[in-house]
Amino acid sequence: MTDAGDVNTVTFPKMLSRRQIAAICAGNALEFYDFVVYAIFAVQIGRAFFPSDLPGVSLLASLATFGVGFATRPLGAFIIGRMADRSGRKPAMLVSFSLIGVSVGGLALTPGFAPIGMAAPVLAVLFRLLQGFALGGEVGPSTALLLESAPIQHRGLYVSLQAMSSDGAVMVAGLVGVILSLTLDAAAVDAWGWRLALLMGLVILPFALAARRTLVETLAMEEALPPHVVEAGTWRIVLCGLLMLAAATIANYVLVYLGTWASTTLGIVQRSAFASVMLVGLGGVLCDPLSGWLSDRFGRRPVMIVPAVGLALVVLPAFWWVAHYRSSELLYAVSTVLACLLDLSTGTMLVAVAEALPRARRAGGFALIYAVAISAFGGSTQFAVAGLIRLSGDPLMPAYYMLVALVIGLNAMWHFPETRPA
């Protein structure tokens, strides 16, 4: 547990404004917005860059390209994260967010295979690699700055806003999918609708960059603090944090893939699939800050563990019901319940891992743990689930995949130390 003396020795910068908090969380939000848009339009993106006459090949190629971007995340985490720990959180956040904007806009504006041939998939892969590099370096500095700017008794709530921004972006992306499916025909969505959805995420870019320039740097303040008592167990923190975030990543990506699974595997109409993604995001928007608030009062470990146990118990029956009855209404209910349980747990994970890391290596360390977890399991989850369904013919493969991850993650949570300040 954190040294209680911290309460008396820390001089916090002035409270962040709502505009500044939004600017800090904007990088994470844009990351997840782009991820969800790519996921729900994976079929259209596959046809644009990887046309094929074989059923399912374009989708698998599209998902594989989505996964390629995760390969450069650890490199971005290492380079930009070290920059944040040496030169400051603020300059690192400006660099990473600018690169995110370039990569998202570049992918949206890349012509398809028909007009430029093999250059199209090559450019798509390059922009995904650049985006992965930028995103790898974004989460560490931004989470560290939120944690270090928060009143010590509200750290959980402040950092949970990072997770809330992610789920808010998921909700918005699902809403964009619903609106486009209602206003455009299938040919228009294939031709340019998915590009419009990606470009809409860039609206926040200039405002967030301007607000980030006004942030107060927290690195010097943190270096003046006494050593953290958890530092002696850093490798235990790294291993447990990696397993926890890996489990959360797999569960989250399976849930967002739920819409694609419902439409491609079960034959549920695509509009309902988009709506289910929107409900997954809504569950996070409601439950992430609740998770942080509860963790400030009852501790990080119980708030992580109890909802994760509930999720592990219901995931198989929930997927079976949707696969058996193939009802849009049931899909909506399952999406919402599973998302709420997951986000009640994961909303606290970010602050627990960040708090436990040594202050001098917090931004880079957290960025690297997060990037490795996301790279190894985030980019591969959708591709693996789609491939397993294709090979086995079992529509419940996403549930099995999530359940295994949750069991591993729960074991790591059980061995993770309590980090809530005394």
Please state the domain extents for the chain.
Answer: 15-414
pLDDT for 386 equals 80
Residue 259 has pLDDT above 80, yes or no: no
Residue 413 has pLDDT above 60, yes or no: yes
Residues 255 and 339 sit within 8 Å (Cβ to Cβ): yes
pLDDT for 8 equals 37
Q: Pick the closest to residue 285 from 247, 233, 342 (CA basis).
A: 342
Give how far Cα 131 sits from Cα of 7, 34, 249, Å: 38, 10, 18
Residues 150 and 293 sit within 8 Å (Cβ to Cβ): no
The more confident residue out of 95 and 181 is: 95
pLDDT for 88 equals 83
- The string of pLDDT tens digits covering residues 129-150 is 898 898 888 888 888 888 888 8
Taking CA 40 as the corner, what is the angle to CA 34 and CA 41, rounded to the nearest 5 degrees? 85
Out of 190-194, 268-272, 318-322, 388-392, pick the least confident.
268-272
Instruction: Give the model's confidence band at 230: pLDDT under 50 very low, under 70 low, under 90 confident, else very high.
Output: very low
pLDDT for 7 equals 36
The more confident residue out of 378 and 281 is: 281
Instruction: Give the model's confidence band at 207: pLDDT under 50 very low, under 70 low, under 90 confident, else very high.
Output: confident
Instruction: Give the model's confidence band at 57: pLDDT under 50 very low, under 70 low, under 90 confident, else very high.
Output: low
Residue 291 has pLDDT above 60, yes or no: yes
pLDDT for 269 equals 73
Instruction: Name the token pair of 251.
Output: 């569960």
- Kindly state the greatest CA–CA separation across the chain: 67
pLDDT for 14 equals 53
Q: Pick the closest to residue 339 from 397, 276, 401 (CA basis).
A: 276
The more confident residue out of 280 and 51 is: 280
Percent of the chain's residues with pLDDT above 90 = 18
Q: Name every residue whose Cβ is closer than 8 Å to that of residue 10 and which is 6 or more positions away in sequence.
A: 152, 221, 225
Residue 341 has pLDDT above 90, yes or no: yes
Residue 13 has pLDDT above 50, yes or no: no
The topology (CATH level 3) of 15-414 is Growth Hormone; Chain: A; (1.20.1250)
- The string of pLDDT tens digits covering residues 312-332 is 999 999 999 988 888 888 888
Rounded to an integer, what distance in angstroms lies between the CA atom of residue 309 and that of residue 321? Answer: 20
Residue 96 has pLDDT above 60, yes or no: yes
